[in-house]
Structure 1
């Protein structure tokens, strides 16, 4: 059996959520394989766990169906070069962290070439594009899933699968410290705080920054004492967001831009949030929220006919009901967003109900995901 020093594992994450998930896996693997080489494509969290990233993760980050077209050749070139390199290097396994459009295609080719493949976070075939299961059967040696209802779906399709729990359910405390979060942000303990989360990707900011800020402006007129906190994923997002606010003539709305999204969520009374992993983060912090989603019109016209269920927000999908409002595409106007969030801010009974439901959700997702995912990978590579 090869020693730890001789083992190489390749990983690819294409956006912030995948970087976070794969970093937990690497944290579990490192004690078991202390001298192994981790390489591929990842973000700061994966790099902090020892990954050598061949290209910046931002190079892969694209959102929507048509938005990828201008960058298709660039991204396809990265995929082809990585495939050829890995087929030559023969890592013990390839691990794709989410980002299925890129990773499943790469995994299919690598597995056909005899390299075991692990896909971390099952694509949402339960939500849309169920036909993708046939590609998954060809591409994936072992699937890691983060929601309990996913395991039987993959088992029924004959795909080896392990439910590992959701890493966020471990890193977010069951009882967040609101006072400490507000103190860290310089907010008064009794302030009314709205956290605005228009997304970590530039494509999300393009479509949601302006309606979110205009909604904040409407709310500020209703209650001038409201404080608004906006977490930004990086300097590029911060600069773009600030410029878009200025161009929209919304400089009079006081928005506190911060780096730490978890502190911003913990401090909030309610959150206006782009659909995605952030909605689950907000739920785990037990906060009322309004979920919004907007993409290029052509993308929307296709995607709106592809869903299998009435919800897009993860908290609602897990609850199997509309626990919190979802405003999609044309419905996500500043006025509608402001009205929905105003109700969330001022309905104490609803806030208590949500906190209880979100606490139950938190417990159901809480496992040692680093250990569970690492053990599954070790089984795949025969360790």
Structure 2
């Protein structure tokens, strides 16, 4: 298995929770994180080596990433595992899956890339990989079938992990937050590149909101010590070190549950916030050249998963130059202050949660087990 970032580690661990009881003695290895390790997974390289996003940012790390991909490919070609599972990380995994598949090693890809949002031509690359797609949104299965790609809708694993009704009081108690305070979660991203581009605007927005309501409490979950260190360096360089933000080690779900509203970088985290039924503002900044290219590749109006699933702007999206501290603060204040809007969001996000809720761990495991059995019969 290969998972390339924190969200992939969580998603892969859900699949392993369904798979491990059927394969108690199987060797599980590749590239993964601590949640996968709970199921006996051995990672040959640190998972954060793959946590690079953006076209030009990837180019800067291309030699190292390619070296890891080749070394892993050669090892797997020697071992000939019963199955390879790529978890998200499409730029790394699809090339690997294609080569393994050609060598007779069956491959599965868990969490299809958002071909329905941008880079539609990528579906040809997916078809070449020969992988069975495990898709997490109900409309995706038909897209892949029309392209002649085997696919199974298994629901979104996060819909199983996240409770339908979050326990706000318990989350606040766990984080030592007052029950009656208004709490804003600041989530600029888990990747170093996301922190680099989003942190200053996000914390600048927190400063403006604190001026508007000094009673607001701000929390920010940090994936690891490297991320925490960069976060502090960035806000210090920007002169924002006086903004009172409670940094939390991990516990992103606890932070979401505790919050009244969330300022979140676009990505899987925005869907997690929706499943916690929280008002949010989605924002994202990246290298200017990367943004210009991706802007032209996009062919739908939304980038945030909650809005894509709703097919409308349920929550604000502020991208690149629009994501100023002033604009973010103003948009988030409205999310905090508009009670009818909050009620509407809870209803819409609850319906979304029900749509995505399946026994993902078991259904995805059954697909993998069937593929292993088919190989054994050959």
* TM-score (structure 1 length as normaliser): 0.96
Aligned to 2:175, which of 166, 185, 201?
Answer: 185
Deviation string 1:39-81 (CA, Å, 9 cap, x unpaired) is 1000111111111110100111101000012210111011011
Mapping 1:282-361, distance limit 5 Å: 282-361=273-352
1:255 aligns with 2:245: yes
Count of residues in correspondence between the two structures: 373
> Is the contact between residue 146 and residue 165 of structure 1 (CA under 8 Å) also seen in structure 2?
yes
In 1, Cα distance between equivalents of 2:212 and 2:137 = 39
Equivalent in the alignment of 1:379 = 370
Partner of 2:223: 233
Matches of residues 13-52 of structure 1 in structure 2 within 5 Å?
A: 13-52=3-42
Distance across 1 between alignment mates of 2:285 and 2:237:
20
- 1:296-326 Cα shifts (integer Å, max 9, x gaps): 0000010001112100000000000000000
Q: Is the CA contact 1:13–1:41 (under 8 Å) kept in the aligned structure 2?
A: yes
Output the CA distance in 2 between the equivalents of 1:97 and 1:291: 24
Describe the superposition over 1:92-132 as per-residue Cα deviations: whole angstroms up to 9, x where unpaired: 11110000000000001111111111000111110111111
Alpha-carbon distance, 1:214 to partner? 0.5
- Residues of 2 paired with 1:187 and 1:135: CA distance? 48
For structure 2, the 5+ residue unaligned runs are none
CA distance in 1, matches of 2:131, 2:124: 13
Counterpart of 1:364?
355
- Deviation digits for residues 128-184 of structure 1 (CA, Å, limit 9, x no counterpart): 111111111110331100110101101111111111111110111000011111111
Q: Distance in 1 between matches of 2:186 and 2:309?
A: 23
Question: 2:232 aligned to 224, 242, 253, which one?
Answer: 242
1:220 aligns with 2:227: no
Q: What residue is the counterpart of 2:135 in the other structure?
A: 145
Of 67, 82, 104 in structure 1, the residue corresponding to residue 94 of structure 2 is 104
Counterpart-to-counterpart distance in 1, 2:113 and 2:217: 37
> How far off is 1:251 after superposition?
2.1
Check if 1:67 corresponds to 2:85: no
Shift of 1:243: 1.8
Counterparts of 1:139 and 1:103, CA distance in 2: 9
CA contact (8 A) 1:119 1:140 kept: no
Q: How many Å apart are 1:25 and its aligned residue?
A: 0.9
Q: 1:264 maps to which residue? A: 255
Instruction: Say if 2:73 is the partner of 1:83.
Output: yes
Partner of 1:94: 84
Partner of 2:161: 171
Shift of 1:85: 1.1
Question: Of 183, 196, 199, which residue of structure 1 is paired with 2:189?
Answer: 199
TM-score relative to the length of structure 2: 0.97
- 2:117 aligned to 124, 127, 139, which one? 127
Contact map agreement 1:18 1:98 (CA 8 A) in 2: yes
Structure 2 equivalent of residue 3 of structure 1? none
Question: How much is the aligned-residue C-alpha RMSD, in angstroms?
Answer: 0.8
Kindly indicate whether the alpha-carbon contact (under 8 Å) linking 1:193 and 1:268 is maintained by their aligned counterparts in 2: yes
What SS class does the counterpart of residue 233 from structure 2 fall into? helix
**Counterpart of 2:189 in 1: which secondary structure?**
coil
State the distance in 1 between where 2:113 and 2:273 align. Answer: 21
